Amino acid sequence: MKHMKLNLSLITAFAGILICTASAFSQSKVYNIYAGNTHSHTQYTESHGAHLGKVAGAAKFMDIDSNGVGRAINSPMKPDWQKHQGLPSVHFDLAKANGYDFFITTDHSQEAGFYPTSPTNPQWIAAHDQAKKATDKNFVALTGYEHSENNGPGNGKGHFNVINSAAYLNALEKGVDIQSFYKWVGTAKAYNNEGPVVATFNHPDPKSYDSFAFRDAKVTDVITMMEMINSNKNIHYAAFLTALNLGWKISPVAGNDNHGTEAISKHTSRTFVLAESKSKLDILNAMKNRRTYAALDQNIQCRYSVNGQIMGSTLTKASEFKFDVQISDPDAGNSRDMITKVEILKDNGVVVETFEPTPAHSVKWNPVIKDTTSKYFFIRVYNAGGSDSEGADAKPNPAKPIAWLAPVWTGR
């Protein structure tokens, strides 16, 4: 009987292990890759942009009044320029037609239509209503605002996108500087309490935002992204390294920064997110958790994990890092889209491992890195054509990367 009791105990224990293993497996998350745009301007941004070049006599247009509001100097031109900009709904419709999975409008909050600054401002509400109406099972429309801190007090110059917030600020109003913005955005509430508020550093250089000063834990948890690619060609890699080295936990994104509708079909750069589903909540959560990458290719598929943790994660301190890297491009008939090189980089942009496969449309790589000092790793990807766009970083160049993937942080 004792022997039988021991066997039953072993069976029970083994069954428990199987149940726990099955439960853990069933709870593991599967991430889909979705492509979109995180930065665009509609006709709600009137004071500057490409649309002005289409209207005679509008070369010098920007004027800031005593309330910090950008207004039209030549107001009779409005009926002409609006047709070149389009409402947010027009942008969303064009994005759907051009294969975007998600699209975010981010008009400048100093514009006349957003004055007075209020969460009940009719134009603010209209932008969100149009996003909600445009969202369906195949497409997610989001909106926010661009915080343009170039004229305010203090030395902290630079632009931000704030996405999904219930309220907004005008960076040009008296008393609004970069430090007050950080304090506000660190506790900003979501629109209709749906999902997280997330923010990006826009088109930065290493000295923007007072050289990335004033960071604290709260704002670090909201500004989770940086525009690596702006306007399909401008690469902001130096600022990315500067921010990472100063403790900001950011992942790369790409913004059209279009003032008008033409770029929606012409630009091939994309922000990619790794999300559980194509929904507003899951796409925002991907951005919140830094599961993003930026690419000069409109459909390259990139993902990697380290020690079983997905890109964007903060790891438990370790001395050995096991990478599982998977890169592919679905354009199998285009030799320009073959993957030619993958790099792993660490603190200060130091390359620690390089993989140069026989050029292919799909590659896998499983290096192991031993390291006891680095604070982060990230990945760059190269292809044979140097990008999908003739305008990317002046011109396509196979010697330059075409995709930058979210870091993983080591927990140090």
| Residue 318 burial (C-beta neighbours within 10 Å; 0-12, 13-18, 19+) | middle
Residue 407 shares a structural domain with residue 289? no
Length of the chain measured in residues: 412
How far is residue 348 from each of residues 128, 212, 244, 345, measured CA to CA in Å? 39, 15, 8, 8
Residue 5 located in a structural domain: no
Residue 244 located in a structural domain: yes
Residue 332, domain CATH = 2.60.40.10
Q: Which helix (H) or strand (E) holds 50?
A: none
Residue 329 shares a structural domain with residue 185? no
For residue 85, pLDDT over 90 is answered with: no
Residue 98 shares a structural domain with residue 230? yes
Q: Give the confidence band of 9 by pLDDT, cuts at 50, 70, 90.
A: very low
How far, in Å, CA of 95 to CA of 261, rounded? Answer: 9
Residue 68 shares a structural domain with residue 183? yes
pLDDT average, residue stretch 72-90: 66
Residue 229 shares a structural domain with residue 301? no
Residue 27 located in a structural domain: no
Residue 312 shares a structural domain with residue 289? no
Which among 272, 295, 318 is the end of a domain?
295
For residue 19, pLDDT over 70 is answered with: no
pLDDT in tens, 107-116: 999 998 999 9
pTM, 2 dp:
0.89
Please name the residue ranges forming H helices in 190-236.
208-212, 217-220
How far is the first Cα of the chain from the last one, in angstroms, to the nearest whole number?
Answer: 54
Residue 204 shares a structural domain with residue 103? yes
For residue 219, pLDDT over 70 is answered with: yes
Q: Which residue has the tokens 């209209």?
A: 126
| Most confident range, picked from 27-41, 64-78, 206-220 | 206-220
| Of the candidate ranges 56-65, 178-187, 249-258, 312-321, the one whose mean pLDDT is the lowest | 56-65
How much is the mean pLDDT over the chain?
A: 87
| Most confident range, picked from 69-78, 81-90, 333-342 | 333-342
pLDDT in tens, 35-76: 999 999 998 987 766 666 555 555 555 566 666 676 655 544
Confidence (pLDDT) at 28: 73
Which among 295, 329, 361 is the end of a domain?
295
Structure tokens at 260: 């008008």
Residue 312 shares a structural domain with residue 351? yes
Query: Which residues, at least 6 apart from 152, have a Cβ–Cβ distance to it below 8 Å?
Result: 171, 172, 176, 177, 178
Confidence (pLDDT) at 17: 41
Residue 325 shares a structural domain with residue 241? no
| Residue 81 burial (C-beta neighbours within 10 Å; 0-12, 13-18, 19+) | buried
User: What range does the domain containing 174 cover?
Assistant: 41-295
> Which is nearest to 104 in space by CA: 252, 280, 288?
280
Please name the residue ranges forming H helices in 67-160.
78-85, 88-97, 122-134
Q: Pick the residue with more confidence: 27 or 342?
A: 342
Q: Give the confidence band of 1 by pLDDT, cuts at 50, 70, 90.
A: very low
Residue 326 located in a structural domain: yes
How far, in Å, CA of 393 to CA of 391, rounded? Answer: 6
Q: Give the confidence band of 29 by pLDDT, cuts at 50, 70, 90.
A: confident
pLDDT in tens, 259-316: 888 899 999 999 999 999 999 999 999 999 999 999 999 999 999 999 999 999 999 9
Confidence (pLDDT) at 62: 59
How far, in Å, CA of 201 to CA of 205, rounded? Answer: 10
Which among 279, 295, 311 is the end of a domain?
295
Using CA of residue 270, residue 271, residue 275, residue 280, what is the dihedral sign?
A: negative
CA-based max dimension of the chain: 99
Other Cβ atoms less than 10 A from the Cβ of 145: the count is 27
pLDDT average, residue stretch 220-240: 96
**Residue 289 · residue 282 · CB < 8 Å:** no
How far, in Å, CA of 360 to CA of 339, rounded? Answer: 5
Other Cβ atoms less than 10 A from the Cβ of 51: the count is 25
Q: Give the confidence band of 189 by pLDDT, cuts at 50, 70, 90.
A: very high
Share of the chain above pLDDT 90, in %: 72
How far, in Å, CA of 348 to CA of 376, rounded? Answer: 9
Q: Which helix (H) or strand (E) holds 153?
A: none
Confidence (pLDDT) at 26: 34
| Of the candidate ranges 100-109, 146-155, 182-191, 268-277, the one whose mean pLDDT is the lowest | 146-155
pLDDT in tens, 363-391: 999 999 999 999 999 999 999 998 877 65
Residue 288 shares a structural domain with residue 309? no
Please name the residue ranges forming H helices in 163-207.
178-185
pLDDT average, residue stretch 185-214: 95
Confidence (pLDDT) at 52: 60
Q: How many domains is the chain built from?
A: 2
Residue 277 located in a structural domain: yes
Residue 198, domain CATH = 3.20.20.140
Residue 21 located in a structural domain: no
How far is residue 349 from each of residues 210, 241, 251, 300, 332, measured CA to CA in Å? 21, 7, 14, 23, 31
Q: To 10 degrees, the CA torsion angle through 195, 278, 270, 142? A: -40
Residue 207 shares a structural domain with residue 315? no
Residue 123 shares a structural domain with residue 234? yes
For residue 3, pLDDT over 50 is answered with: no
